[in-house]
Homo-oligomer: A and B are copies of this chain.
Amino acid sequence: MSLEAVKEKQVPHVVIVGGGFGGLYAAQALRKAEVKVTLIDRRNFHLFQPLLYQVATGSLSPADISSPLRAILNHSKNTQILLGEVKDIDTEEQKIFLATGDEIAYDYLIVATGVSHHYFGKDEWATKAPGLKTVEDAIEMRRKIFLAFEAAEKENDPEKRRAWLNFVVVGGGPTGVELAGALAELAHYTLKNDFASIDTTEAQILLIEGVDRVLPPYPQDLSEKAKKSLEELGVTVKTRTMVTNIEDGIVTVKCEDKEEKIETKTVLWAAGVKASAMGQAIAKATGSELDRVGRVVVEPDLSVKGFANIFVIGDLANFAHQGDGKPIPGVAPVAMQEGQYVAQLIKKKLAGKSVEPFRYVDYGSLAVIGRHAAVVDLGFVKFSGFLAWLAWVFVHIYYLIEFDNKLVVMIQWGWNYFTRKRGARLITNPYLRTTPAGDGNSLNGMQAQKKEPVEV
Residues of A within 8 A of B (CB): 3, 42-45, 61-64, 66-68, 70-71, 74, 79-85, 98-100, 102, 116-117, 126-131, 133-137, 139-140, 143-144, 146-148, 150-151, 153-154, 191, 193-197, 248-249, 265-267, 269, 402-405, 407-408, 411-412, 415, 419, 421-449, 452, 454-456
Q: Least Cβ distance of A38 to chain B in Å?
A: 9
Name which of A3, A435, A444 has the most chain B CB atoms within 10 A of its CB. Answer: A435
Q: Which residues of B contact A440 (CB under 8 A)?
A: 127-128, 248-249, 265, 267
A433 touching B134 by the CB < 8 A rule? yes
Contact A3 B444, CB 8 Å, known A83-B154, A137-B434, A428-B135: no
For the complex, what is the distance from the CA of A380 to the CA of B405, rounded to whole Å?
Answer: 41
Partner of A429, one of B71, B136, B151: B136
B455 touching A445 by the CB < 8 A rule? yes
Q: Least Cβ distance of A287 to chain B in Å?
A: 27
Given A42-B456, A136-B431, A445-B454, 15 additional A-B pairs, CB 8 A: A61-B62, A61-B64, A68-B426, A70-B195, A83-B427, A117-B434, A126-B436, A127-B435, A130-B435, A136-B432, A265-B440, A267-B440, A404-B415, A411-B411, A443-B456
Q: Taking CB as reference atom, which chain B residue is nearest A84?
A: B456
Q: Which residues of B contact A449 (CB under 8 A)?
A: 430-431, 449, 452
Contact A71 B423, CB 8 Å, known A431-B449, A446-B456: yes
Q: Least Cβ distance of A404 to chain B in Å?
A: 4
Q: Least Cβ distance of A266 to chain B in Å?
A: 6
Partner of A68, one of B140, B265, B423: B423
Q: Least Cβ distance of A57 to chain B in Å?
A: 12
A439 touching B127 by the CB < 8 A rule? yes
**A-B contact list, 13 entries, CB within 8 Å:** A43-B427, A44-B150, A61-B424, A63-B424, A66-B423, A70-B191, A70-B195, A83-B456, A130-B433, A136-B428, A404-B411, A404-B419, A430-B430
Q: Least Cβ distance of A416 to chain B in Å?
A: 8
Q: Which residues of B contact A133 (CB under 8 A)?
A: 434
A44 touching B421 by the CB < 8 A rule? no
Q: Least Cβ distance of A148 to chain B in Å?
A: 7
A147 touching B443 by the CB < 8 A rule? yes
Contact A194 B437, CB 8 Å, known A402-B423, A411-B407: no
Partner of A83, one of B70, B150, B419: B150
Name which of A45, A408, A445 has the most chain B CB atoms within 10 A of its CB. Answer: A408
Name which of A71, A134, A419, A445 has the most chain B CB atoms within 10 A of its CB. Answer: A71
For the complex, what is the distance from the CA of A415 to the CA of B144, rounded to whole Å?
Answer: 33
Contact A134 B432, CB 8 Å, known A446-B147, A446-B456: yes
For the complex, what is the distance from the CA of A274 to the CA of B34, rounded to whole Å?
Answer: 58
Partner of A455, one of B99, B137, B143, B412: B99
Q: Which residues of B contact A135 (CB under 8 A)?
A: 426, 428
Partner of A446, one of B42, B98, B404, B454: B454
Q: Least Cβ distance of A125 to chain B in Å?
A: 9
